[in-house]
Amino acid sequence: MIPICSMHGISELKGSIPNELLESMAARGIVGLTPPQELAVDAGLLTGASLVVSSPTASGKTLIAEMAIIRSVLGLRKKAVYIAPMRALVGEKYEEFKAAYPYLKIAMSIGDLDSLDPWLEKYDIVLASTEKFDSLIRHGADWLDSVGCMVFDEVHMLGESGRGPTLEILITKLRRLCKQTQMVALSATIGNADDIAKWLGARLVESDYRPIKLDKGIVLGEKAYYRDSEEELIGSSKIPEIRIVEDVLERGKQIIIFYSTKRNAEAGAEKIQKAVIEKLKPAEKQALSAVSKRVVGALGRPTAQCEKLGRCIESGVAFHHGGLVNEQRHAVEEAFKSGAIKVICSTTTLSLGINMPAHTVLVRDTSRYGDSGPERIGVNEITQLFGRAGRPKYDTSGRALLIARAKAEIMDLYRKYIDAELEPIDSMLGMLPVLRTHILAFVATNFLKSEESIASFFSETFYGYQYSSMREIKGNVQKVLEELSGWGFLEKKGSLYSATRLGSRISELYIDPLSAKKIINMLMKERDDLSNLFMICNTIEMKPYVKVTEEAEEKFVHYSGLLASNTGGEEVEDFYYYPEKPFSTAMMLSDWANEKSEPEIVKKYGTTPGALFAKVTNADWLLYAAMEISKIMRISTIRLLELRVRVRYGIAKELLDLVQLKQVGRVRARAMYANGIRGISDLRKPGIDKSLERLFGQEIAKKITEQAKFG
């Protein structure tokens, strides 16, 4: 049963919301509204009012969004759109909606940024990532006027330098394009939710309600200190984080420990193993063994990190960060939700949206290294991490803890994090690189065509609301328009700008115009495969780069000429830019495309399997973009096409024919080649099915040989 703290049962909503929604809520055990939900209804949620909802994790924000969405779809017979900054969160909500409303047409769109996805027009509910929905608008999605409700989840991400600007531009754009559409913005508790509401012209619903009581405290030695009490932690270890784990396990609960770096999270998991494995039951060990095999086998050949994660999981502990591949992350999350894994040692990846609560949260590190050295983690982020504590279905209370190193630090941590006011979020839109991308899109889509109209648009953004200085906005807009015109992406006639063919395509490709400029400069030079990889790695989209190897430093001398007249403002915008870094990243991709194994590459470049595959995915996209730009410039794309396939599969040139076959990747293609199967035509030779059976088994062999009949 869902915890309720409300005056009204859901039956009192009959007539205000579709019966299907009431039935779905009842089926999930929801018998009443939480205080934030009740406040939202009172504020006009069910009569189409736009709202900003600011309340803690697990307070019921998702159901508020659901009520608005289902009212739009079943009550108004209009579409509804749900937008979130993280793909994982979009995927989670998609599964929730599909389960709750199997009879509605529900679609998820988070992939190809160079696609209009016209099929979305036929769906009732569209769930999309911020970048994907922005891309849909750039490609001319013409169904926006049929949308009755738009939900923006995690809207506090406006203050995040990476995702914030695109979210801010998207919201501002949609407010212009969809004037009659109900907007519902969901936020964790922040210091200036009222500013966001005023900017959006929406009503503010603010609540500190939390269904699970949260005890916030500071741990020193063997004790946890709370505001009005202290408690002895159960256990024997003198190491604070292990003592906390012992205490949690003794209570029969689970814990998430947050660290500042991937390395710290892995080291923490290894350190904690012994304390956890002693508490595991035989059945739990058996279940964990299966999870361990799954994560170790997630790659063709396990890396040292894969094996380390497998060993930790067998002990009931896991680490979780962006260096894991998707299969490993999903396995860890599922095993934690099932109760098999007792402890997760994580970077802040688990603080963002996805539903992974534990009874206890420990934030071990309150500072981390930034570009300019150590920096304190902010109050808002710590509050987000604390929000993972307390499981509504299992606990009546949760604990959120920090660690002090000395008695004097207890009060300092209280003052900085527990008693501190939440920080206001600020717009990140003032940076020129961000403006460049969006201004090109405005002109390319004929949304805005003059300097005055663009400046006016920016005055409507959260940045314009906060700073209201039109002089600075106009100055920045003018600089960007001159820059884009100088690069040949825009042209001016009178007071109006229009995009060139090249500028329009770059906008559709969803790459930074500076990245496109760098690609164009290198496309006009003589290139080999490594040059082409350096070309796409020397872009903003491929950051962060891997470490510079000695081999890369030595080899770079022969490729440095590609950078002549190609600095394009990078040295001004990024003080830490060194061309050897993207070049070393290019060499890593070259090793991958020459069939070096994942373990070799991970060790050589100091990276992780997850980071390697993220780079491969980005490289695939940027090679495609380079091909599209080449077509406009009338430059041959054959070499780029071959390289793109090689990078995608991690294969040498001689395997290009074989990887066209379904069921055949880099490992099987190499095995086939080594056994005399050099191309698809060889599959038609007598007796070849027997050779394939010896290599891969009867089922896979049959699937491969059947394709040759139609090749």
Q: Is 167 left (phi over 0), alpha (psi -120 to 50) or beta?
A: alpha
**What pLDDT does 393 receive?**
76
Across 137-147, average pLDDT? 90
323: confidence class by pLDDT, cuts 50, 70, 90 = confident
| Whole-angstrom distance, CA of residue 596 vs CA of residue 617 | 17
**What pLDDT does 570 receive?**
47
**What pLDDT does 479 receive?**
92
CATH class of the structural domain 511-650: mainly alpha
Predicted confidence (pLDDT) at residue 572 exceeds the cutoff of 50: no
- Beta-bridge mates of residue 185: 52, 152
**What pLDDT does 41 receive?**
94
The least confident of 259-273, 541-555, 572-586, 689-703 is 572-586
> Domain 10-206: what homologous superfamily?
P-loop containing nucleotide triphosphate hydrolases (3.40.50.300)
DSSP symbols for 171-194:
HHHHHHH-TTSEEEEEE---TTHH
Predicted confidence (pLDDT) at residue 134 exceeds the cutoff of 50: yes
Question: What's the topology of domain 432-507?
Answer: Arc Repressor Mutant, subunit A (1.10.10)
Q: Who's near 510: CB < 8 A, 6+ residues apart?
A: 113, 114, 131, 134, 135, 138
Predicted confidence (pLDDT) at residue 573 exceeds the cutoff of 60: no
pLDDT digits (tens, 9 = 90+) for 241-258: 999 999 999 999 999 999
The least confident of 352-361, 464-473, 587-596 is 352-361
Right CATH for 213-418 from 3.90.199.10, 3.40.50.300, 3.40.350.10, 3.90.180.10: 3.40.50.300
**What pLDDT does 3 receive?**
39
Predicted confidence (pLDDT) at residue 660 exceeds the cutoff of 80: yes
Q: What are the residue ranges of helices labelled H in 28-73? A: 35-42, 61-70
| Every domain of the chain and the residues it spans | 10-206, 213-418, 432-507, 511-650, 655-708
402: confidence class by pLDDT, cuts 50, 70, 90 = very high
pLDDT digits (tens, 9 = 90+) for 550-570: 999 999 999 988 886 544 454
**What pLDDT does 2 receive?**
38
142: confidence class by pLDDT, cuts 50, 70, 90 = confident
**What pLDDT does 165 receive?**
92
Threshold 0.95, pTM exceeds: no
Percent of the residues in the chain that have a pLDDT greater than 70, as a whole number: 95
374: confidence class by pLDDT, cuts 50, 70, 90 = confident
- Asked if 547 and 605 touch (Cβ cutoff 8 Å), the reply is yes
Tell me which of 285 and 355 has the higher pLDDT.
285
**What pLDDT does 564 receive?**
61
Predicted confidence (pLDDT) at residue 666 exceeds the cutoff of 50: yes
Predicted confidence (pLDDT) at residue 473 exceeds the cutoff of 90: no
Neighbours of 696 (CB within 10 A): 18
441: confidence class by pLDDT, cuts 50, 70, 90 = very high
> Domain 655-708: what homologous superfamily?
5' to 3' exonuclease, C-terminal subdomain (1.10.150.20)
**What pLDDT does 7 receive?**
44
pLDDT digits (tens, 9 = 90+) for 75-96: 999 999 999 988 888 988 999 9
Across 391-409, average pLDDT? 89
- Asked if 403 and 409 touch (Cβ cutoff 8 Å), the reply is no
Q: Tell me the three state secondary structure of residue 263.
A: helix
| 511-650 has the same fold as 432-507 | no
Q: Give the strand pairing for 106-109 and 343-346.
A: unpaired
Predicted confidence (pLDDT) at residue 1 exceeds the cutoff of 80: no
